[in-house]
Chains A and B, each alone.
Chain A
Amino acid sequence: MNRGTATRRPLSSSRSQALAEIERLEPRAMLAGLGQDSLSGLGSTTAVLLPGVSSAPEIVLTGGSHTLGSKTGTVGSQPPSPVLLSGTGPGTGSSTAGTSSNFAAFGPILFSGTGSAKGSSPPGTRSSSSDPNGPVFPLQYTGGSNAGTQGTGTNTGSSVGGSDLWLLYGAGLGAGSSSSGASGGSSSNLLTLLSQYQEGSSASGQGNGSGNTLSNADLWGMYWSGAGAGSSSGSDNGSLADDPTISAQYTGGSGIGGITPLVYNPESDGPPVFHSGVWTGDDGSLQFVQTADAGNQGTGAGDALQSEGEPKPRTLWQWFWGDDPIKGSLWKLGPSRISRAGDRPTHNDDKSAVESLEDGGKLAKELIEGAERDAALAALGAVVGKLGAQNGVPKASTVNGIKAPGLFNDTVGSLDEARAAIKKAFPDAVELPPALPGKPYPSPPPGVKKWFQVHPPEPGVGNDLPHIKYVDWTTGKKGTGGSWGHLFFLD
C-alpha cells in the first residue's frame, strides 16, 4: 500500500498545488477574502502574465504595499485586466489601482486583505471622455477580519457607452467602511451596475451611489448584513429615459442601522423589467428572490421585500452565474480577462444584468481547458507556491507532513524554507552534498538512513522545480513506516 497517497497531502508540483488551492477556495472564498490564511506569508509582489494577455498583468499577488499605477491607452486596445490579490497577510499595506483613460475596458479586480488588520484598498478611476463601447468593470473586495477601508469607485467619464460595473465588498469580521461608488457624467445606453455591501460584524458606514442622466437600465445595489451593521443609503439622481432604475438595499442580521431606501415609481420611471433582491439570512447564507413587480425595495431586513416567491438559498456562484461551480475550474471573464473561479461581479440575478452583459459579449464566462488551462495553472502555481511560510519559517503542515510515515510532497517558497522544514521535522537528519545536473547524485554514506539532499530540477522525470529530497528509513521502508518525499521550492 502506498501510505503516502492515502494519508497525506496529494502530490504537489507547483501546478497541482495551484489546482488544489483553486479547489479549496472555490467558490465562497472570492468574496470572503480568499480563504483566510491561504495567502498568508506571500512575501513579494509577483506579476503573472497569462496567455493571451499582451501587456497588463492578469494576476498580481502582492504582500505589503502595491501600486498598480496608471494605465493609459487607446480605445480598442487590450484592456488592463489585472487581478490584484493584495494584502495577503496580517497587517498588510494598501493597494492602489490606477487610472484608465480611453480604454475599451478597464478591468481591475482587487482583492484586498485576506488576513487580519488589512490596509485600505482604493479603487480605480475611469475618466474616459470618449469611450464608446467597452465595459468598465472594477471589482473590489476587502475580506478577512479587521478589514480596513474599502475605497471609492468612480466613473466620471462623459458620453460613456457600454456597461459599467462597480463592485465593492467588505467582508469578514470587523469590516471597515465602504465608501461610495459613483457614476457621473452624461451616460447613454449604460447598464450601470453598482453593488456595494458589507457583511460580517461591526461593519461601519455604507456609502452612497449616485448618477445622473442615465438611460436604460441602472442597477444600484447596496446592502448590509451581519451583526452591528451600520447604515446604508443610496440615491439615483438621474433623469431616467427608458427602463427603470432598480435599487436594492438590505440590512440583515442583528444591530441593524439606518437605511435609506430608494423608490421606484412605476408611473414616472416606466415599466419595470425585473426586480431582484439578495440578502443575507440569519445563518449567513445569501438568499435571493425575484419578483415581477417592481416597487420600493429594501426598507429594512429581507422580509420587507415585495416578493412573490419564497427566498431560496443560493451559493454565491449560483447567485451570479446561475449554474453550479466546477471544482478546480479556471474561467476567463470577458474577452481577455482571466480570473480564478468564484469571481462574480454583481448581486443582480442571472436573469437580468448577467444576461444583458453576456448578450453584449462583455461579461461571458468561458471555461479554460486544455493547454491554456495548463499554462494558467503553471502561472498560478508560480504564485501559489509562494504561499506558506514567511521569512523562511516553515508551515506546521509541511513539518508534520514530513514527520508522518509515507510519501509527502509539498511546494514551499524557498530553499531556506524547505531546509528549515526538514530540519525541524528531522533535526538529526544528515544533509548530503547537493546533486548536480548531469552527474550521479552523491549517495549517503553506509549506515545513514535519515538524510536529505538538494536536487536540481529534473524535467525529464516530471520534477520541474528544484527540490530537497528527504528520506527517513529508520522507521521502516516505503509502505512499512518509512518517510520520504520532496519539498519543491521556487526561489
Chain B
Amino acid sequence: MSVMIEIYYHEPYDLQREKTINDCLGIHQGKVTYREDGRDETICLTAEFQTREDAQAATAALQEIGEHVEGPSDYGDD
C-alpha cells in the first residue's frame, strides 16, 4: 500500500509548472502515477509515496509554493 496526494491546477497544461511539481515530489521520494487532464477545466496529478511522512512533507512544500494539494491519503493496492 502507498500514500497519495493530489495536485490540482486550472487548465491549460503548464509544462514548467508540472516540472516544478515533479521536482518537488522527487525531493520527497514521490512521483506522479496518474494524470487526469480534460475534466472540464481541471488538471489533476496523483502522486504516490511510500510513507505518509514523505507525502506530508511534499504536500507542505507544494502548498508553500501555492499549489492546491489534497491529501495525503492511504491509497489502494495495485
A441-B70, A443-B71, A469-B70 in contact; A463/B77 too (CB < 8 A)? no
What is the CA–CA distance of A441 and B68 in the complex, to the nearest angstrom?
10
In the complex the two chains form, is A482's CB within 8 Å of B10's CB? no
Query: A461 — nearest CB in chain B belongs to which residue?
Result: B8
Is A373 an interface residue, CB under 8 A from the partner? no
Given contacts A13-B40, A477-B76, contact A458 B68 (CB under 8 A): yes
Given A449-B75, A449-B76, A477-B77: A409 touches B70 (CB 8 Å cut-off) = no
Tell me if A's interface is mostly helix, strand, loop or mixed.
Answer: loop
Q: How large, as a class, is the contact surface on chain B?
A: 20 to 34
User: Which of A13, A447, A471 is most buried by chain B, counting CB atoms within 10 A of its CB?
Assistant: A471
> A462 and B73: CB pair below 8 A?
no
User: Closest chain A residue to B77 by CB distance?
Assistant: A476
Interface hits, B15-61 → A, CB 8 Å? 33-34, 36, 38-42, 46, 52, 59
Note all chain A residues with C-beta closer than 8 A to B10: 460-462
The answer to whether A461 touches B77, judged by C-beta atoms less than 8 angstroms apart, is no
- With contact pairs A11-B39, A13-B40, A440-B63 given, residues A461 and B9 touching in the complex (Cβ less than 8 Å): yes
- Interchain nearest-CB distance for B21 vs A (Å): 13
Name the interface residues of A227-252: CB closer than 8 Å to any CB of B. none
B78 within 8 A of A: yes
Within 8 A of B (CB), among A290-323: none
| A1-43 with Cβ < 8 A to chain B | 2, 4-5, 11-13, 15-16
Whether A444 and B76, one on each chain, are in contact in the complex, defined by CB atoms closer than 8 angstroms, is no
Contact indicator B42/A480 (Cβ below 8 Å): no
In the bound complex, residues from chain B placing their C-beta under 8 Å from that of A481 are 76
Q: Which of B33, B36, B40, B68 contacts A2 (CB 8 A)?
A: B36
Pick the contact of A473 from B39, B59, B69, B73 — CB < 8 Å?
B73
Contact A11 B40 (CB under 8 A): yes
Looking across the interface, which residue of chain A has its beta carbon closest to that of B63? A440
Interface size on A, residues (CB 8 A): 36
In the docked arrangement, what's the CA distance between A474 and B1, Å? 10
Whether A473 touches B11, Cβ cut-off 8 Å, given contacts A461-B42, A461-B68, is: no
Shortest distance between the CB of A5 and any CB in chain B (Å) = 7
A16 B74 Cβ-Cβ under 8 A: no
CA of A443 to CA of B75 in the docked complex: distance in angstroms? 12
Verify A477–B78 contact, CB threshold 8 A.
Answer: yes
Of all chain B residues, the one with the shortest Cβ separation from A5 is: B38
Q: Does A478 reach chain B (CB closer than 8 Å)? A: yes
Measured in the bound complex, the distance between the Cα atoms of B72 and A460 in whole Å is 20
Chain B proximity of A390: nearest CB distance (Å): 26
A481 vs B78: C-alpha distance in the bound complex, in angstroms?
9
**Among A15, A409, A444, which residue has its beta carbon within 8 angstroms of that of B73?**
A444
* Closest chain B CB from A145 CB (angstroms): 35
- A473 CA to B70 CA, complexed, in Å: 15
Q: In the complex, A444 Cα to B4 Cα: how many Å? A: 11
With the chains together, A72 CA to B34 CA distance in Å? 59
- A475 partner residues in chain B, CB cutoff 8 A: 76
Evaluate contact between A462 and B41: CB separation under 8 angstroms: yes
Query: Contacts A443-B71, A469-B70 known; A407 to B36 CB distance under 8 Å?
Result: yes
Q: Can you name the residue of chain B whose Cβ is closest to the Cβ of A463? A: B42
B residues bordering A, Cβ < 8 Å? 4, 8-11, 33-34, 36, 38-42, 46, 52, 59, 63, 68-78
What 4 A-B pairs have minimum CB-CB distances, sorted nearest first? A462-B41, A473-B76, A462-B42, A461-B8
- Besides A15-B40, A461-B68, A479-B34, 13 other CB < 8 A contacts? A4-B36, A12-B40, A16-B40, A443-B71, A449-B74, A461-B10, A462-B8, A462-B11, A462-B42, A463-B8, A475-B76, A477-B75, A480-B76
